[in-house]
Amino acid sequence: MRIFAIAFVAALIALPATAAEQEIALKKAPSLDKVEANCQACHSLAYIPMNSPFLNAAGWNAEVTKMIKAFGAPIDDADAKAIADYLARTTAPEV
């Protein structure tokens, strides 16, 4: 009986990990393909809407630079600029 209880508790703990990740739909705009290809290679695109209320154009530029310099993201300079521009244009808070 004890083994059953432990297995049941373990299953309850593990169940949320098996849930499907919610699909993130970013705004269609130029350079979306670069964002999806480069950013999603290392982490979920969910980070973009989570951070968008806090970052302006300079903040997104710093974030992309951090991903390259601190975390070693293999993004060339042209793509980095396109990604930062896309993020600044499409995630601006609604006024």
Q: Per-residue pLDDT tens for 20-30?
A: 556 788 999 99
**Per-residue pLDDT, 78:** 96
Give domain limits for the chain: 24-90
pTM: 0.73
Distance CA 29, CA 64 (A): 18
Q: Per-residue pLDDT tens for 30-66?
A: 999 999 999 999 999 998 988 888 899 999 999 999 9
- The pLDDT of 70-85, averaged and rounded, is 96
**Per-residue pLDDT, 43:** 92
Please give the CATH superfamily to which domain 24-90 belongs.
Cytochrome c-like domain (1.10.760.10)
Closest CA to 45 of 93, 77, 90: 90
Distance CA 71, CA 42 (A): 10
Question: What are the structure tokens assigned to 20, written together?
Answer: 């499907």
- The pLDDT of 80-92, averaged and rounded, is 94
What mean pLDDT is reported for the chain? 85
